[in-house]
Chain A
Amino acid sequence: MSLITPDFGLLFWMTLIFGIVFFVLAKFGFPVILGMVNKRADRIETSLRQAEEADRQLKEMAEEQKRMIEEARREQARILNEAAASGEKLIQEAKEQAKAQTSAMIEQAREEIRIEQDTARRQIADEVTGLAIEVAEKLVRGHLDTAEKQSALIDKMIEEARANRNPVN
């Protein structure tokens, strides 16, 4: 069968041509392409790694940012709280001071009122005493406007004095 008998001529040409093709492609064809493809693959790999690194850094920075914002917020809250507390304290203090002052003023006013009252009372008492003396004077003067009346009173007084002394003897 000629179909399954290798033809010498074709084998010869095949050896020659395939040899040349293989030599040329192995020298100038595939190594060039493979080298470039590998180069690009390496590049892609490094780029990927770099991108990953950048992504990681970005994430870290975002994390940091978030952390800082959180911290700032906490700080803000703390300051606000503090301000509120100190404000309250101030108000409280002011209130207390005002209270104290008020009570002091009230106390003083009371003291003054008391002093005034005392003075007034003393004055009233003095006045009443003077009035009483005046009234008494006027009364006495009315009773003793005549000699008889005077002598009668003297008598009565002596009598009274005697009566008072006798029981003691």
Chain B
Amino acid sequence: MHRIKTILLLLALLLPFTASATEHDAPSKPGELDMESYIFGHIGDAYEWHITTVNGHHISIPLPCIVIDDGLHVFLSNHIEESGYTLNENGKLVNAATGKRPVDLSITKNACSLILSSILLLVMVLGTARWYKRHDVLKEAPRGFPGLMEMLITMVVDDIIKEGVGEDYERYAPYLLTAFFFIFLNNLLGIVPFFPGGANLTGNIAVTLFLAMCTFLAVNLFGNKHYYKDIFWPEVPTWLKVPVPLMPLIEIIGMFTKPFSLMVRLFANILAGHIMLLGVVAVIFLTAELGPALNGSMTVISVLFGVFMDILELLVAFIQAYVFTMLSSVFIGLSRQKPEHEKQLETSK
């Protein structure tokens, strides 16, 4: 249900922007909201971290740009023009002279957020681990933050990983736990509207692509022979396999659709949440010219609905981390499953 809503919302919100993209070049009137740059500025990536705008003056943190063109170039994002580069219509760095895209390894807003959240994640988990090293675990249980972390970790391990992966779950627990906490933390940071939150990291396709790829590798690198037999020689009537390998083809496509669905699910859910929140807030500014009475009442509605959306996004932040981890566990579990008769053989031994 959520996904359908997400897609509809995406379409509904994107259509006006594509329509208005042609008149983008026309300078907007002062005080009028430029919806496209407003929404995409928030959900997209940038070479600087925009904090706020005071009286039309942008306050941002310049971030380092790293490009490999004819050699390595490193410069800050507020010196793009001086370094011989410019931004193209998608907001990407291009060589000002040739107009070509260089190999762009810039620490963008998302990359910077990724570094910050990763440091935070390391501190959180290693801090908890340090608590365990410093205390006699047999004599006391953690309280406060380590207690919260332990609760989350045991919840993920017991409810998701053990259930999904099966017997050798301990081998996959570190990856699945890292993925869970990474997604959860970045989802939460994405809801925080000001620095150092606010970057739309888990709503960025590159990040979800990478996470889905990790799951794809974990599933396919360690799949057992039954998993591969079910893909290349599934137990279906032979005419479905020879001469046209119909079922194997479907199974091979299935190998890729599973991580693909992981990628799109996380990306679309988080992106949709951000866009919806931005849209709700934008109502305040869009109704500004309709007079104080209407604008005031719409502001109240917008704030109330914004609070509701924020709480919903908190829920979604957890659910999406949970779902990603759970589905990854299930896919890994499926790739390591043994057929029933072999299991019985093992237990009878």
Closest to B129 in A: A32
- Main secondary structure on A side of the interface with B: helix
Which one, B104, B138, B267, contacts A9 given CB within 8 A? B104
**Known contacts A2-B44, A8-B104: does B204 contact A33 (CB below 8 Å)?**
no
B-contact 0/1 string along A13-44, CB 8 Å cutoff: 11101101110111011111110110110010
A-contact 0/1 string along B132-161, CB 8 Å cutoff: 110001100100000001100110010000
Closest to A21 in B: B118
B122 close to A24 (CB less than 8 A): yes
A22 close to B174 (CB less than 8 A): yes
B175 close to A26 (CB less than 8 A): yes
A43 close to B157 (CB less than 8 A): no
Which one, B103, B105, B174, B214, contacts A25 given CB within 8 A? B174
A9 close to B205 (CB less than 8 A): no
Q: Give min CB distance, B154 to chain A, whole Å.
A: 6
Which one, A18, A32, A43, contacts B132 given CB within 8 A? A32
Instruction: Please indicate the chain B residues that have their CB under 8 angstroms from the CB of A28 in the complex.
Output: 126, 129
Instruction: Please indicate the chain A residues that have their CB under 8 angstroms from the CB of B170 in the complex.
Output: 34
A-contact 0/1 string along B90-104, CB 8 Å cutoff: 111000000000011
Closest to A39 in B: B137
Instruction: Please indicate the chain A residues that have their CB under 8 angstroms from the CB of B107 in the complex.
Output: 13
**Known contacts A33-B132, A37-B153: does B104 contact A21 (CB below 8 Å)?**
no
Q: How far is the CA of A2 from the CA of B101 in the complex (A)?
A: 14
Q: Give min CB distance, A12 to chain B, whole Å.
A: 6
Closest to A42 in B: B138
* Residue B209 CB within 8 A of the other chain: yes
B154 close to A37 (CB less than 8 A): yes
* Residue A147 CB within 8 A of the other chain: no
* Chain A: interface residue total (CB-CB under 8 A): 34
A29 close to B205 (CB less than 8 A): no
B178 close to A22 (CB less than 8 A): yes
* Residue A3 CB within 8 A of the other chain: yes
A9 close to B210 (CB less than 8 A): no
**Known contacts A9-B111, A25-B125, A34-B157: does B141 contact A40 (CB below 8 Å)?**
yes
* Residue A142 CB within 8 A of the other chain: no
Instruction: Please indicate the chain A residues that have their CB under 8 angstroms from the CB of B178 in the complex.
Output: 18, 21-22, 25-26, 30
Instruction: Please indicate the chain A residues that have their CB under 8 angstroms from the CB of B115 in the complex.
Output: 13, 17
Q: Give min CB distance, B108 to chain A, whole Å.
A: 6
* Residue B206 CB within 8 A of the other chain: yes
A-contact 0/1 string along B45-67, CB 8 Å cutoff: 10000000000000000000010
Which one, B106, B121, B129, B154, contacts A21 given CB within 8 A? B121
* Residue A7 CB within 8 A of the other chain: yes
Q: Give min CB distance, A47 to chain B, whole Å.
A: 9
Which residues 23-75 of A sit at the B interface, judged by CB distance below 8 A?
Answer: 24-26, 28-34, 36-37, 39-40, 43
A-contact 0/1 string along B208-225, CB 8 Å cutoff: 011100100000000000
* Residue B182 CB within 8 A of the other chain: yes
Closest to B114 in A: A17
Instruction: Please indicate the chain B residues that have their CB under 8 angstroms from the CB of A43 in the complex.
Output: 138
* Residue B337 CB within 8 A of the other chain: no
Q: How far is the CA of A37 from the CA of B115 in the complex (A)?
A: 29
List the 8 closest pairs (A to B, CB-CB), nearest first.
A26-B174, A6-B206, A29-B125, A32-B129, A10-B206, A36-B132, A13-B111, A2-B90
Q: List 6 A-B contacts (CB under 8 A).
A: A3-B271, A6-B209, A8-B206, A18-B178, A34-B173, A37-B150
Additional 16 contacts, C-beta under 8 A, given A6-B206, A9-B104: A6-B209, A9-B105, A10-B45, A11-B206, A12-B105, A17-B115, A17-B118, A18-B178, A18-B182, A25-B174, A25-B178, A26-B175, A29-B126, A29-B128, A29-B174, A33-B128
